[in-house]
Structure formats: structure tokens, C-alpha cells
Amino acid sequence: MDAVIESLPDVFKAFGYTVLLFLVSGTLSLIGGTLLVAMRVGPIAILNKAGAAYVTLVRNTPLLAVFFFFSFAAPRIGINFRWVDVHIGTFDFTSFFSTAVVALTLYTSTFVCEALRSGVNAVPLGQAEAARAIGLPFGGVMSQVVLPQAFRASVPPVASALIALLKNTSVAAVFGVIEATSQMKSLTNNNADERWGIFLAFAIGYVVLVELVSLAAGTLERRWRIA
Amino acid sequence: MRFTRTKAVIATAGLALSLAACGNAGEDSEGVDVQADENAASSFDDGTRMKEIADAGTINVGVKFDQPGLGFNETGSDMPTGFDVDIAKILVASLGIDPDDTSKVKYVETISDNREPFLQEGKVDLVLASYSITDERRQVVGQTGPYMLTGQQLLVPEDSDAEGPEDLQGKEVCSVTGSTSLENAKAQGMKPVGFDTYSQCVDKVLDGTVEAMTTDGTILAGYAAQNEGQLKVVGDPFSEERIGVGYSKDYPEMCQWINDTLEKANEDGTWAEAFEANLGASGVETPDFPELDPCE
């Protein structure tokens, strides 16, 4: 544990990167997942198929492979994020952070999409029919009637997808982002005699973060419960 | 009939593969040629680990698989090559085991993270995997040597103007996640970027995502030689790494044997020969044999 305490500022900064990766890709995944679910349940056949094909392709690919693609294959065909160069305080957001965000977002969107789709399926068909009957277009039916109820119904599965995302950020450790897992590897490498304590400290760090996400999800679930 | 045809196809494919394998092996079978010491088993005292290994006739050695010139394994090959591997062969031969017989000597890939656990659990008997000697590591495993001194340098594209860490202040520099090199790069004012293997860092330097990568000069020299005309090693070493042999703390008697064998390899010239064969091509001059740490 001494090693962790000695380099506490570095440890906090590393967990900072973990949280930032989670917040940025989490927000983008929620948006992406919502768009995907709209495509999948919408009336346009081509979007329907495209949405289903995307989910099938990306959800069935290991996250590591998605990372590999954007780190080593995509630059070869001209897709790279070298133009990203933002520095806020001591945090740097360059191509490596962006690559991680893109990979995590594309991957997690599919899980969010499927979680939301379970929520959409939970909304009785009569709701959509009634909304259509009063003259709402598809956009109106979705945004005013179906999705608000679907979001409420799918808080637990979406929270699961986000918790998985939080832990998946650790993959970025070997793709250029000095986040918590990467920092842990530095510490275990330099302090071979303190491995247990270091593992434990970082495990606790992750547990605390995940617990915060589950608490937030629990609160939302209670507040959004339909009376 | 159909079965015969299938068999023929498989046989042909197998033949083609084995021919390809031969082709690979024939290309670069450099390194030193050491002969097993026939009377080794009788020269060790009873009850020592060396005697046990010599009697059993098999040994597991941890080496790196991804560092050209030090420990490198061509895909599909079961015999790694490099300076670390050659030093391992010298040690194995002194136990009376033929170092080129992979049914007796198992070269296991060790990465930076699992070297101590592999030694502690007995998965390997020796580690020669660009293993820097440090006080922290000596708390959990035995380390002796060094058989090579190296220092951290920078590997940059051929057309780069950077001449040392001072030209790369605040710039992203790649190395392996969790390695000491990454920490040193940070201490030198560069921004560390961590990947899983050195070869991935080389890829990132070649495609221009980072301006440089950093680790021990000997490792970089191997990559520079592999990508001649595209990459070069620059700058004075800004750290000192003492590369040694790792063994289990349970068998402290191995230390003296390792030191004696290394000393002998220095005296009869095999050490220098191994250095030249593996690292000489990249333009590095053969240094003096480093002074060994005394065993306790």
C-alpha cells in the first residue's frame, strides 16, 4: 500500500482519466444507443436493417478487436484522430484518448440500444397506436410517448451496460491512455514486493466508482417510477 | 476415394507448411553455437537445484519473444533468437542439457508483468528477459549479473530533428504500459503513452502518431536494424539499466553457478561472440564485460 500512498497524485489523475473516459463515452453511447434504437424500431425498412446489421456486427466483436481496429488498422486507411489536441489543466486529450472514446462509444452504443429496445418492447402497443391516432408523426410518437416510458423501463439494463463500460475503459491502458489500470501496472512493475496491496487499492477504486454509478441508477429508478 | 483425396490435400498442405518453416529457420540462424557440457551433472553438489535440473535433463527458461536482437521469436518458430537467449543457452549448456533441443529446454515467453510470478511459482527456472536488476525485485526473486549494461534512449523516424529528451519536452513518447521506461520518460518531461508491446510502439512511430518511442538502447537498436532507413536511435542514455538473470529465491545456490558460468563465458570469448552476433549488426560496439554483483 505504501507505493500507492506515495504516488497518490498520479493514482488520482489516473482514475481521473478513467472517469473522463467513462463520462465522455457514456454520454455519447446513450445518444448513439437512442439513435440506433429509433432506427431499429422505426418504420423505415432500410434503417431497420442497417441498425440490426450494425448491432450484430459490433456487439459480436470483442472490444479489444474494436480497439485494435481503430489503433492499428484504421490509420492505414486514413481514419485517424491526430487532429484532436485539447489540453485542460493537467489532462491531455489527444489521438489516444479520442481513439479510446470512439472504440468504447461504438461498442457500448450497441448494448445501450438493445437495453433500450427491451424498454420499448415493454411499452404496450396501444400507447403507440393511441399516439398515432391523435395524429403524431413517427418522431412525435417516439419522443413524446414511447421513449419516455421506454427509458423508465430500461434504467436497470442501461445501468448494467454503463457499469460494463466503466470497467471496459481499462482496455485503453494498452492503447496509450494512462488510466487507472495502466497506473496500476506501473506500480506493480516498480514494486514487485507490494503487489497485493496495489491490486487491492485499485480494486477498491473501481468498486467505489461502480457503486456510484449503481447508486445514481437506483435513485433514477425510484424517482422515475410511474406512480 | 474422397478420403484419399482429402488426405492428399492435407499432406500437401502440411508439406508446404513444413517447407515454409524450413525456409524461415534457414535464413537467420545466427547466434552462438554452444555445446552441452557432458559431465555437468557430476560437477554439482548433491541437493543443489543445479544438480536436480541436470539430473532431470529438462529446464524452463523465460525469455522475451518480441525484442529483436535480445529475445525474439519468429511466428511459428519454437526457437527464439537474441542475446538474452544466447546467454540462456550458455547457462543451459553448463548444466549438461543441449540448449537447441526444444524437447528438453522450453523457452517460455515472459512479459514484464509475469517475470516474478513465473519464478515464484516455479513455471520457469531462469529468466533472461531484458530483466533489470532492482532492489524491489530482489525482495521477491533472486537476481544476479549484470551480464549487460544498457540505458534508455530514443527511437525516432529517420527524418526527425530530435536529438534527445530536451527536444521532445511535452511531446508524446511511446513505451510499454507499466514499464520503467515509461516512468523515466515522464521524469524527463515527455508525455508517456503506453502500449502492450514494443512492436506496437514501433508501429505508432512509423505511422506518425507519436514522435518517438523510448526504452533500453539495445532493444531500440534491434528495431532500428529491422527498419533500416526509416528509424534511428538518438541521444545519450538517460538512465542506467543493469540487465541480469532472474532465479527463484528458494534456490540461492544458483547465484554462484550463474556468476561462475557468466565469468567463464567472458573469459573464453563466447559472451563477446554472442553480443556481436546479435547486436553488432546494429552498429553497437561490443562493450566490456560488466562487473558482476557478488553473491551473498
**For residue B51, pLDDT beyond 60:** yes
Tell how strand B191-195 and strand B66-67 pair up: unpaired
Q: Hey, of B118, B121, B127, B177, which one would you mutate to test binding to chain A, going by the most A CBs within 10 A of its CB?
A: B177
Taking an 8 Å cut-off on Cβ atoms, the answer to whether A75 and B207 are in contact is: yes
Indicate the range of B22-36, B228-242, B252-266 predicted with least confidence: B22-36
Taking an 8 Å cut-off on Cβ atoms, the answer to whether A176 and B180 are in contact is: no
* pLDDT for the residue numbered A22: 96
- Is the minimum CB–CB distance between A190 and chain B shorter than 8 Å? yes
- Is the minimum CB–CB distance between A80 and chain B shorter than 8 Å? yes
- Is the minimum CB–CB distance between B209 and chain A shorter than 8 Å? yes
Closest CB to B137: pick one of A95, A186, A192: A192
**pTM of the complete model:** 0.78
- Is the minimum CB–CB distance between B249 and chain A shorter than 8 Å? no
Chain A residues in contact with B208 by the CB 8 A cut-off are: 82
Handedness of CA A42, A46, A47, A50 (dihedral sign): positive
* pLDDT for the residue numbered B13: 53
Average pLDDT of the residues of chain B:
83
Closest CB to B195: pick one of A75, A175, A190: A175
Whole-angstrom distance, CA of residue B176 vs CA of residue B283: 24
* pLDDT for the residue numbered A227: 47
- Is the minimum CB–CB distance between A191 and chain B shorter than 8 Å? yes
Taking an 8 Å cut-off on Cβ atoms, the answer to whether A193 and B139 are in contact is: yes
Q: How many residues does chain A have?
A: 227
* pLDDT for the residue numbered A28: 97
Chain B residues in contact with A97 by the CB 8 A cut-off are: none
Cell of A132: 398515432
* pLDDT for the residue numbered B77: 82
Taking an 8 Å cut-off on Cβ atoms, the answer to whether A174 and B177 are in contact is: yes
Q: Quick one: fold of B30-150+241-282?
A: D-Maltodextrin-Binding Protein; domain 2 (3.40.190)
**What is the CATH number assigned to the segment(s) A2-224?**
1.10.3720.10
Of A22-26, B82-86, B109-113, B244-248, give the range with the top mean pLDDT: A22-26
Mutual angle of helices A155-168 and A8-41, in 10-degree steps: 140
User: For the purposes of burial, counting CB atoms within 10 Å of the CB of B26, is it exposed (0-12), middle (13-18) or buried (19 or more)?
Assistant: exposed
Average pLDDT over residues B37-60: 82
Q: Indicate the domain borders of chain B.
A: 30-150+241-282, 152-234
Q: Are B237 and B220 a contacting pair, CB within 8 Å? A: no
Q: Position B25: which residue type?
A: A
CB environment A147-168: b (16+ within 10 A), e (fewer): bebbbbbbbebbbebbbebbeb
CA distance A205 to chain B (A): 18
Taking an 8 Å cut-off on Cβ atoms, the answer to whether B141 and A188 are in contact is: no
Indicate the range of B11-15, B37-41, B261-265 predicted with least confidence: B11-15
pLDDT in tens, B139-170: 889 999 899 888 899 999 998 888 888 888 98
Chain B residues in contact with A76 by the CB 8 A cut-off are: 207
* pLDDT for the residue numbered B127: 92
Residues with Cβ within 8 Å of A6's Cβ and at least 6 positions away in sequence, in order, are none
**For residue B105, pLDDT beyond 70:** yes
Whole-angstrom distance, CA of residue B103 vs CA of residue B292: 31
- Confidence tier at B226 by pLDDT (50, 70, 90): confident
Nearest CA in chain B to A80: B209
Identify the residue whose cell numbers are 510470478. B117
Q: Hey, of A189, A191, A193, A199, which one would you mutate to test binding to chain B, going by the most B CBs within 10 A of its CB?
A: A189
* pLDDT for the residue numbered A84: 84
* pLDDT for the residue numbered B240: 86
Taking an 8 Å cut-off on Cβ atoms, the answer to whether A189 and B112 are in contact is: yes
**For residue B172, pLDDT beyond 70:** yes
Let me know the angle formed at the C-alpha of B141 by A170 and B154, rounded to the nearest 5 degrees: 55
Taking an 8 Å cut-off on Cβ atoms, the answer to whether B140 and A191 are in contact is: no
Identify the residue whose cell numbers are 527458461. B61
Domain B152-234 is found in CATH 3.40.190.10? yes
Chain A residues in contact with B174 by the CB 8 A cut-off are: 176
Q: Are B89 and B128 a contacting pair, CB within 8 Å? A: no
Nearest CA in chain B to A77: B207
CA distance A208 to chain B (A): 23
Percent of chain B residues topping a pLDDT of 90? 16
- Confidence tier at B29 by pLDDT (50, 70, 90): very low
Taking an 8 Å cut-off on Cβ atoms, the answer to whether B136 and A190 are in contact is: yes
Q: Hey, of A76, A80, A186, which one would you mutate to test binding to chain B, going by the most B CBs within 10 A of its CB?
A: A186
More confident residue, B21 or A21: A21
Nearest CA in chain B to A97: B193
CA distance B19 to chain A (A): 30
Cell of B34: 554452444
**pLDDT tens, position by position, for chain A (227 residues)?**
788 888 889 899 999 999 999 999 999 999 999 999 999 988 899 999 999 999 999 999 999 999 999 999 988 888 888 888 888 888 888 889 999 999 999 999 999 999 999 999 999 999 999 999 999 998 899 899 998 999 999 999 999 999 999 999 999 999 989 999 999 988 888 887 788 899 999 999 999 999 999 999 999 999 887 64
- Is the minimum CB–CB distance between B69 and chain A shorter than 8 Å? no
